[in-house]
Amino acid sequence: MLKKRLIPVLLLKNGFLVRSFKFHRHNSIGNPLIQTQRYNDWSIDELIFIDITRDGVYDLRRDDQKLKGVSSALEVLRVVSKTCFMPLTFGGKIRSLEDMSVRFENGADKITLNTVCFEDPGIIEQAAKKFGSQAIVASVDIKKHADGSYEVFSHNGSRPTGRRPVEWVKFLESRGVGEIFLNSIDKDGTGEGYDLDLIKGVVDSTNLPVIACGGVGKYEHFVEGIKSGGASAVAAANIFNFKELSDRNARRCMIDSGIDMKPV
Amino acid sequence: MNTAHLVDCGLGNLMSVANTLESLGCDIVRCASPAQLENSTHIVLPGVGAFGDAIAKMRDSGLDKAIVSAVREGKKLLGICLGMQLLFDKSYEYGEHEGLHLIPGEVRKMETAPFNLRLPHIGWNDTFMLKKDDIFEGMNNPTCFYYINSYSCICLNRENILGEYEYGEKYCAIVRKDNIVGVQFHPEKSQKGGLKLLKAFISM
């Protein structure tokens, strides 16, 4: 049967790999090419790159790492796709069909859309028709309010949209999106574990595969995301950057818990 | 090493397929017109996207007829994902579309509702090899390959089916008819197993 997926997320800012905390604090942690080379040992199911650069400045050239400098997130994608024979998803700052074409031409297999779905909802259907639903992932960022209700945020988690997660995901599904990448802004970078109520609520309301993200601090959190949240795939960023052999050990932990995974 | 001719109808992840074949030491020729297929020995028809658009684009450029006659001359053809589906007679994806009629059968949406399964079918799935074939050179049975599809091929002749995957029901994963091979998964995204399969194809 179909395996559950474990997905490292690489956040790129100005060409650097960064760690993120609640979507607003970003610390640079190095060269993304070095990191992705580590993933090329075949134990990873898929990779997601999100470009969160805001000022359009890229600079990897000062980084002397035996690798040729790259000047943009797209170049990171292009270099990675030459050596990583696994599915690559690329997101961030995509506003037009042309933006999407460029990502695919540079080696992306799937792209994520977020803010543009609010600004220009018609583009979702056009994208699904042009590239196929399977290539269009909707990234959905959620904040939990003090009263326990959830709201979807756009613009890198900075702008409230008035939309409820379940209603928004149903809308995205009806427009032809092929997969949901669900992020909890409150849990981002905390290591407290996924927001399981949020994940379960969204998973139960859609027929699309859901990738859970935000909050993983230990391997058991991945298990919860699948078993309690019902996610088809579990994603994280920080844990993969700061723990040795985290990809393999996380996978072993999930397999030991009885989850059907691609072997280590 | 051989040269692989990649059919380019302006669709899909051509770049991924090219990168993977290049890593195997293969020279790549991108073919957007029938004339470019003339000196080919191994043709790869990659594809992501919708069946109707793809076949329309192939007809416009004449690549459909060129591929069919290349196969008649004995050239090897590998269809990947949508490229495999295009080999069949007909697809019911957003309407009804005629395919290349190279392998008898049709393409239908996967029946997942009775099994409470999600669509698209995305991720790594065990692929069971039903018989011995040189395309499986050096592979374990089953092997995990990466899939991303909502439609799947229904092969009319059982003897054309080399491999199956399961998602509620059993579906056709690999077909072969003489010099034509089709795979529903993405070997170019399936790490070691995928590289082995592509290598076996270009060595055919």
CATH of the domain at A65: 3.20.20.70
Told to judge if B186 belongs to the known catalytic residues of this protein, a careful annotator would answer yes
Closest by alpha carbon to A140, among A201, A189, A86?
A: A201
Q: What pLDDT sits at residue B131?
A: 94
Q: What is the pLDDT of residue A54?
A: 73
Of B198, B202, B203, the residue nearest B16 (C-alpha): B198
Nearest CA in chain B to A39: B191
**pTM of structure:** 0.94
pLDDT at B76 over 70: yes
Pair B100, B86: CB distance under 8 Å: yes
Q: How many domains does chain B have?
A: 1
Tell me which of B9, B26, B81, B153 is the catalytic residue: B81
Helix H or strand E segment including A160: strand A159-160
pLDDT of residue A41: 65
Q: Tell whether A225 is covered by a domain.
A: yes
- The CATH number of residue B140's host domain is 3.40.50.880
pLDDT computed for residue A65 by the predictor: 46
In chain B, the residue whose alpha carbon lies closest to the alpha carbon of A43 is B191
* pLDDT given for residue A79 in this prediction: 86
Residue A56 lies in a domain: yes
User: Which residues, listed in sequence order, are joined to residue A12 by a DSSP beta bridge?
Assistant: A17, A51
Bridge-based pairing state of the strands B42-45 and A25-30? unpaired
Is residue A262 in some structural domain?
A: no
Residues in A closer than 8 angstroms to B110, CB to CB, are: none
State residue B1's pLDDT score.
Answer: 63
Q: Reply yes or no on whether B188 is catalytic.
A: yes
The residue among A69 and B117 whose pLDDT is bigger is B117
The answer to whether residue A62 is domain-embedded is yes
Number of domains in chain A: 1
Say if A264 falls within a structural domain. Answer: no
What residue numbers bound the domain in which B84 lies? 3-202
B127 Cβ under 8 Å from any chain A Cβ: no
Q: Tell me which residues of chain B, numbers 13 to 72, contact chain A at a CB-CB cutoff of 8 Å.
A: 13, 15-16, 19-20, 23, 48-50, 53
DSSP letters spanning B18-79: HHHHHHTT-EEEEESSGGGGTT-SEEEE---S-HHHHHHHHHHHTHHHHHHHHHHTT-EEEE
Please name the amino acid found at residue B97.
Answer: H
Spell out, as residue ranges, where chain A has pLDDT lower than 70.
40-43, 55-71
Question: Model confidence over A140-184: pLDDT tens digits?
Answer: 999 999 999 999 999 999 999 999 999 999 999 999 999 999 999
Q: Do B49 and A132 touch (CB under 8 A)?
A: yes
Q: Check residue A57 and give its pLDDT.
A: 52
CA distance A260 to B10: 36
Contact between B19 and A179 using a beta-carbon 8 Å cutoff: no
- Cβ atoms A251, A234 nearer than 8 A: no
The answer to whether residue A109 sits within a structural domain is: yes
Report the alpha-carbon distance of residue B12 to residue B57 in Å, rounded: 12
Report pLDDT digits (tens) over A107-141: 899 999 999 999 999 999 999 988 889 999 999 99
Q: Could you tell me if residue B174 is left (phi over 0), alpha (psi between -120 and 50 degrees) or otherwise beta? A: beta
- Residue A54, number of CB atoms within 10 A of its CB: 12
**Per the CB < 8 Å rule, is B123 touching A131?**
no
Residue B193: predicted pLDDT: 93
Provide the domain limits for residue A39.
5-256
Contacts of range B72-75, beta carbons closer than 8 Å, 24 or more positions apart: B74/B179, B75/B40, B75/B41, B75/B42, B75/B43, B75/B179
ipTM of the complex: 0.93
